[in-house]
Amino acid sequence: MSSADTRRNVGARFRNGGGTVKGFVQRVHSPHPSLNDSLEGELQDFLTDEDQLHTYDDLTKVNPVTPTTVLKCLQARYSVKVFYTHAGCTLVALNPFQPIPDLYSLDVMKEYHCAPQPKEFKPHIFIVAEEAYRNVRGQLEPVNQSLVVSGESGAGKTWTSRCLMKYYATVAASSSVVKSQNTVERIERRVLDSNPIMEAFGNACTLRNNNSSRFGKYIQLQLDRCQLLVGASVQTYLLEKTRVACPPDNERNFHIFYQMMKGATDEQRKEWKMPRGQRFTWLPKSEKTLEEDCFHETVEAMVHLGINAERQRQIFRILAGILQLGNVNFSSSADESQLCNLDEQSKDFSQRAAELLCVPAEELQTCLRVRTLKAGKQSVLKPCPQAECSMRRDCLAKVIYAQLFEWLVTFINNSICADESMWCNFIGVLDVYGFECFHINNLEQLCINYANEKLQQHFVAHYLRAQQEEYVSEGLQWSFVKYQDNQSCLDLIEGSPVSVFSLLNEESRLNRVSDTKTFRTRLEKELCGNANISWDKFSKEPHFTVAHYAGKVNYQIQGMVEKNKDPVPPELISLLQKSDNPLLHQIFTDKETENPTNKGLSKVTVVSKFKNSLESLMRILHTTTPHYTRCIKPNPDCKPLTFQKEEVIMQLEACGIVETIHISAAGFPIRIPFKDFMQRYGLIEKYSNSMSGSCCVDVETDSNGILRQEVEKLLSVVLHKAFDLDSEKHNSWVHCGRTKVFLTQSMLDLLEDQRKKILSRCAFSIQCCWLRYQQRRRHARQQAATLIQAAVRSWLVRRKVQKWNRAAAVIQSTWRKWRALLKSLAEAELDDAKDLVEEDVSALNPVIRERGSVQLANIQEPVTVRGWPMGLALASAPSITMSLTATGFQKMMSVMASLNLPSRRAEYKVETNQYTKGLASIRAQPKGSVKMHYQRSPLLYADRQPDMKTDVTGFNEILLEKTL
């Protein structure tokens, strides 16, 4: 069968869901075609519609999987400004080298965080972050997560790590609890503010990247049981402190020095003894301005982390003192027994450095030019040659900067790290220096590339080798996919008993001056059997070449042993311990207490210390669930939106992207032991069997056979519930091994969906029962409250009615007494009928009778009115016919009393008062001749006109009754 047919068969299996398991045979693909090959055969079929290549959001959909097809897809997506692409279990990120608006906004974060299935969205770094966060929230073993961001220098690792931290600080801090909101915001801000400080003191502009990390860091974001961010911790690895005193050609020093030069005020410059226009030897390319040269942002971050103004002043004075040290130059004296000479300018710079470091100037100059030798209990002072003076000066600057950086990391950890009782899980973000290959490479590049080899080996062990070996051990029929294993390179660098590191340590611990040619000869003799190391015998400079996973690198031997020794003269440490700068004194006093000076073979070298810290990191990574993001640098010049095929294809082949895609497309990326699988998904079978009444197996049983049967039953239930699949398709989605269940991502999503549905139903049933219980309880309380209220109200009503009855009895009794009193008074005041009969009415004077009488219609005889108002007498009937015989003043008074004559705007309206108001006295109705006693009448207001606005009360209300 031809290679083309082989790739077509493999691609067909990929399209059918990742390939079958039972009877599955995958053939090893032929060597990758070069970029210059014509696109014919199977590649032509794939690339016929190149306009649609940018729609391939997952490289496992590519058919066939070759470097050319993968490269074409990435180039097509990059051309339409799509920078993230899934590559099976990893995420490929291409650096655009320019800001992309709204690509990392808060709205995008919320969109991915709230999505039911984030993988259904476009590929993004937030998908990786959200997957890790949901694993912690779902407590999937191992619960702790690690996000490994790898790639070359300038590929965008630092920016990606910054976005990940911002995502978790936003998502994991979204608490609705008002009480803890201030604490959450404080932790979030401090975690984010640690980035500007770490980058200012640990990053620098290199030939390949304007913001290259010159140290490695692993940030643990600590989460509590509610998956809220409560703290963080930072672990750093191998700061490139040699850059302080020996920055490479055409590269810059650390950002913090340039920030001070460009952002300091006049007062700060005066305090730091840095006048404008002054140049420093250790600050090359100072005229170049970068976005990272933001001094105000660094100072603001220090304030937020709790570094007060006085402590900041001490830090910047130390940094300014380091810069002044760089301008101190030594010249050899004519007599070797004399000290090296310092010109006037160098003396001035050393004086400034001593004042800034708060140490005696003369003692500083002595420590730089004089070496103390101990012979028994005696000390001998020996002048140092010019080269050693410069080395001691550089050593002083490097040790001060390294210890200051370490103090900053410790301070940051104390500021943002939570107590162990407050957090239970963490998400780690690993940002390390990328693979480096410069014109001149030394110990720093060897350690950096060694760290990248370890990470690549972890990726290979976790995803490529271990996954395939586990397929075979679990009984899956599998043909291995070839991949590049870098274990032999690691054995060369760190292996036992003989390796580059072991030989370097032995050479460093010998109390003699190292010889580069001798060391090269020893390396060649001891390591000649390893194919990953080679030598150029015709090179003038002694060096050795290591074949790394990402390419070959030449390492210069000159100076490597001295750098590994990292000697610090004790005179310098003693000088710094006497410093009047509180921070500098504290740093070196604590350092002397914690790490006493080691001597002889027990001395810790740079590579041994770095190896131990890296092994500690790898142990952490092995106990977590890793998530890999591969950052790709599309062009070596960092030009925006420029894609160079040769640059990208080398990185794809170096990091094993093509092999990863092969295994991810054909294999099962999710592996869960039977016991854990049943604990998590056993409720699906339990819920399905609840209607039939069958019992479920005990998940605590140790029998894998019984557990496997139950797992198969559960999987058959899930698959038949979702859709009716044939058995062959079942095997392409899931496979039961000897001890584990192997799943594709689609099958895992299906299981999680079924589990969520059942949990939702159970939660709904619980809610219904709880609501029913609450409703019944509320109804019972309402009935009890109603009975209590009815009883209280009835008691209150009875009490009120009884009170009313007592009051009514009192009122009635008083009323009756009052009526009887009034009746007796009225009978005594008014003429009685018997008195009218017996009384002898005297004859009226004819004149009075004529002028002071009133003729009523129902009385035959005229009624005589003597000064009494006629109103009361005339109100006995609704219709009155009268003849007024009164004249003069009596006539006027009678008319005024009888008529209502209100005055309004000089007009008079005449109306009968008694008829309209309906008030009269029955007792006052004249019967024949009536004798009226005006002065003694109880009708006090009978001669007044009743007013609508005045209520008649008292005796008048009783005596004046309303007539209809």
Smallest Cα–Cα separation from 712: which of 693, 735, 694, 692? 735
- Does the annotation flag 155 for ligand binding? yes
429: tokens are: 């973000």
Taking CA atoms, 124 is separated from 86, 109, 463, in Å, by 9, 10, 21
Smallest Cα–Cα separation from 571: which of 401, 384, 331, 340? 384
- Does the annotation flag 158 for ligand binding? yes
Out of 135, 194, 213, 441, pick the active-site residue: 213
- Does the annotation flag 156 for ligand binding? yes
Residue 209 known to be catalytic? yes
DSSP 936: T
Out of 231, 434, 852, 871, pick the active-site residue: 434
Element (H, E) at 862: none
- Does the annotation flag 277 for ligand binding? no
Q: In Å, how far from its chain's centre is CA 876?
A: 96
Tokens 């950002």 belong to 255
C-alpha 371/C-alpha 388 separation (Å) is 9
With contact defined as beta carbons under 8 Å apart, do 730 and 694 qualify? Answer: no
Name residues whose C-beta falls within 8 Å of residue 312's C-beta, 6 or more positions apart in sequence: 299, 302
Out of 63, 90, 153, 350, pick the active-site residue: 153
3-class DSSP string for 473-528: HCCCCCCCCCCCCCHHHHHHHHCCCCCHHHHHHHHHHCCCCCCHHHHHHHHHHHCC
In terms of Cβ atoms closer than 10 Å to its own Cβ (0-12, 13-18, 19+), residue 464 is buried
Tokens 């079958």 belong to 20
CA angle (882 as vertex; 879, 883 as ends), nearest 5: 165
Out of 85, 150, 212, 581, pick the active-site residue: 212
- Does the annotation flag 152 for ligand binding? yes
Peptide bond into 142 cis (omega under 30): yes
Residue 212 known to be catalytic? yes
Provide, for the chain, the percentages of residues in helix, strand and coil under a 3-state DSSP scheme, each rounded to the nearest 5: 50, 10, 35
- Does the annotation flag 760 for ligand binding? no
Characterize 169-205 residue by residue with b for buried, 16 or more Cβ atoms within 10 angstroms of its Cβ, and e for exposed. Answer: bbbbbeeeeeebeeebeebbbbbbbbbbbbbbbbbbb
φ and ψ at residue 85, rounded to 5 degrees = -145, 135
With contact defined as beta carbons under 8 Å apart, do 583 and 313 qualify? Answer: no
Residue 887 known to be catalytic? no
With contact defined as beta carbons under 8 Å apart, do 452 and 422 qualify? Answer: no
3-class secondary structure, 921 = coil
Out of 88, 154, 321, 682, pick the active-site residue: 154
Amino acid at site 360: P
Residue 154 known to be catalytic? yes
Name residues whose C-beta falls within 8 Å of residue 178's C-beta, 6 or more positions apart in sequence: none
613: tokens are: 């810290």
Residue 765 known to be catalytic? no
- Does the annotation flag 646 for ligand binding? no
C-alpha 61/C-alpha 64 separation (Å) is 9
Q: Kindly give the interhelix angle for 125-138 and 157-171, rounded to the nearest 10 degrees.
A: 40
3-class secondary structure, 427 = strand
- Does the annotation flag 559 for ligand binding? no
In terms of Cβ atoms closer than 10 Å to its own Cβ (0-12, 13-18, 19+), residue 774 is exposed
Taking CA atoms, 676 is separated from 340, 679, 699, in Å, by 72, 5, 8
Strand locations in 389-488, DSSP E? Answer: 425-431
Out of 135, 161, 194, 209, pick the active-site residue: 209
φ and ψ at residue 542, rounded to 5 degrees = -65, 130
**Beta pairing, strands 90-94 & 625-632:** parallel
Q: Got the DSSP string for 818-849?
A: HHHHHHHHHHHHSPPHHHHHHS-PPPPPHHHH
With contact defined as beta carbons under 8 Å apart, do 872 and 942 qualify? Answer: yes
3-class secondary structure, 737 = coil
Out of 60, 63, 158, 629, pick the active-site residue: 158
Q: Got the DSSP string for 912-951?
A: EHHHHHTEE-STTS--SS----TTT-S-TTTTS---TTS-
Peptide bond into 67 cis (omega under 30): no
Residue 153 known to be catalytic? yes
Alpha helices in 203-248 (DSSP H): 242-245
Q: Point out the annotated binding site for ATP.
A: 151-158
Q: Which residues have a catalytic role annotated? A: 153-154, 158, 209, 212-213, 434, 436
Q: Point out the annotated binding site.
A: 151-158
